[in-house]
């Protein structure tokens, strides 16, 4: 009797069924009134009294096992059937929701494409920098008040390690490691310790540019920037350069474009001036070239830098800078067909 129970336990443990019909056959075979398990119960009468307790327990266990097994198989088969029914193979496909590129990525890419057409390649560098690459090499002496122009985030207590405040730090790296001619742009994220509002953020994106060669002049700079402005904002766009100051360029200028909303007529967007500022630029200061191992008697160069958010605002009239980093799908989806 005990060996019979053992055998049947093994058989039941190994049961498989491919369909509910097959399962029903198994149920009848083992669990119906005349099934194998039930028949064992009939034999129970002939078990000697002293073994009845033990064998009775084994029999009950066998019955429970058989029931659990059959129920388990039934559940699996039902679940498979149900999920199969959900797949209607004749149905037309659901439209796939495609992601969109971030507006800043789109605009950064367009800026890069425009400069690529006039020979600029791209270089990137680290966001965590040291003082020398961000300030020192770029003619910001220690304690120079010009450092206050950019509110710097320092990493821990070491004032030498900081988050770059402009991608000019990549210019330093390139000038240090490559020989002119250099004609490159430097896109990337930069950080400044500013209170977050609709018009300022503690991080934003820049594309800076650098051209160093023999006989590079301010006229070359002006021509490259005019080309950029027209490509970016349309053929009728005009530019205007105003004298400015940066420690790393001399002379320095800020560039305005004719307001792309009113065409220079004057509107609330350009505060009725007809012009909007888009970038800083200038001729690389000879000190900077020298700091980076380039002979200023042989080479000269120009540099410029613009904020990608600013350009994007002008192109798409985004009124609140914070929208760029909030990941609001309603905002992001608006740029689906921008390019």
Q: Nearest to residue 233, comparing CAs of 275, 188, 198, 172?
A: 275
Residues 77-96 close enough to bind ligand PHE by CB under 6 A: none
Query: Cβ 157 to ligand PHE, closest distance in Å?
Result: 25
By the rule CB under 6 A, 169 interacts with ligand PHE:
no
CA distance 115 to 185: 8
By the rule CB under 6 A, 187 interacts with ligand PHE:
no
Joined together, the tokens standing for residue 233 give 């904002």
Quick one: which of 228, 246, 324, 335 contacts ligand PHE (CB under 6 A)? Answer: 246
Q: Please identify, among the stretches 31-39, 63-71, 86-94, 277-285, the one whose residues bind ligand PHE according to the rule CB under 6 A.
A: 277-285
CA distance 175 to 294: 7
Joined together, the tokens standing for residue 329 give 């799908």
Quick one: which of 27, 166, 173, 201 contacts ligand PHE (CB under 6 A)? Answer: 166
For tokens 């909303």, the residue is 261
How far are the Cα atoms of 39, 117, 134, 183, 277 from residue 232, in angstroms, in the given order? 89, 13, 28, 19, 14
Q: Please identify, among the stretches 28-36, 64-72, 94-102, 301-309, the one whose residues bind ligand PHE according to the rule CB under 6 A.
A: 301-309
Closer residue to ligand PHE (CB): 185 or 259: 185
Quick one: which of 107, 280, 299, 335 contacts ligand PHE (CB under 6 A)? Answer: 280
Q: Nearest to residue 317, comparing CAs of 107, 169, 159, 113?
A: 107
Quick one: which of 129, 208, 256, 309 contacts ligand PHE (CB under 6 A)? Answer: 208
For tokens 């490159």, the residue is 184
Closer residue to ligand PHE (CB): 66 or 306: 306
Query: Could you list the residues that contact ligand PHE (CB under 6 A)?
Result: 166, 168, 208, 246, 249, 280-282, 303-305
């Amino acid at each position: 009797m005990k060996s019979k129970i053992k055998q049947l336990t093994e058989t039941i443990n190994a049961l498989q069924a491919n369909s509910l019909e097959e399962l029903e056959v198994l149920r009848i075979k083992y669990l119906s009134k005349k099934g194998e398990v039930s028949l064992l119960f009939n034999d129970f009468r002939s078990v000697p009294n002293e073994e009845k307790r033990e064998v009775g327990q084994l029999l009950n266990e066998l019955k429970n096992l058989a029931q659990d097994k059959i129920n388990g198989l039934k559940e699996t088969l039902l679940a498979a059937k149900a999920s199969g029914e959900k797949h209607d193979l004749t149905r037309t496909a659901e439209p796939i929701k495609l992601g969109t590129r971030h507006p800043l990525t789109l605009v950064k890419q367009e800026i890069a494409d425009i400069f690529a057409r006039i020979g600029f390649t791209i270089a990137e560098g680290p966001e965590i920098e040291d003082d020398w690459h961000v300030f020192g090499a770029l003619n910001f002496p220690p304690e120079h008040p010009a450092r206050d122009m950019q509110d710097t985030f320092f990493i821990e207590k070491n004032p030498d390690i900081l988050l770059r405040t402009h991608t000019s730090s990549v210019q330093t790296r390139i000038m240090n490691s490559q020989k002119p001619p250099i004609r490159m742009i430097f896109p990337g994220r930069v950080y400044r310790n500013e209170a977050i509002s609709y018009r300022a953020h503690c991080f934003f994106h820049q594309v800076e540019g650098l051209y160093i060669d023999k006989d590079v002049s301010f006229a070359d700079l002006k021509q490259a920037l005019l080309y950029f402005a027209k490509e970016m904002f349309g053929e009728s766009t005009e530019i205007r350069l105003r004298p400015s100051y940066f420690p790393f360029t001399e002379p320095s200028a800020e560039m305005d474009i004719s307001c792309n909303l009113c065409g220079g007529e004057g509107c609330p967007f350009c505060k009725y001036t007809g012009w909007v500022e888009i970038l800083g630029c200038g001729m690389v200061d000879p000190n900077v070239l020298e700091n980076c191992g380039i002979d200023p008697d042989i080479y000269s160069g120009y540099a410029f830098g613009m904020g990608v958010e600013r350009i994007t605002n002008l192109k798409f009239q985004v009124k609140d800078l914070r929208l760029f980093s909030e990941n609001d799908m309603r905002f992001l989806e608006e740029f689906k067909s921008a390019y």
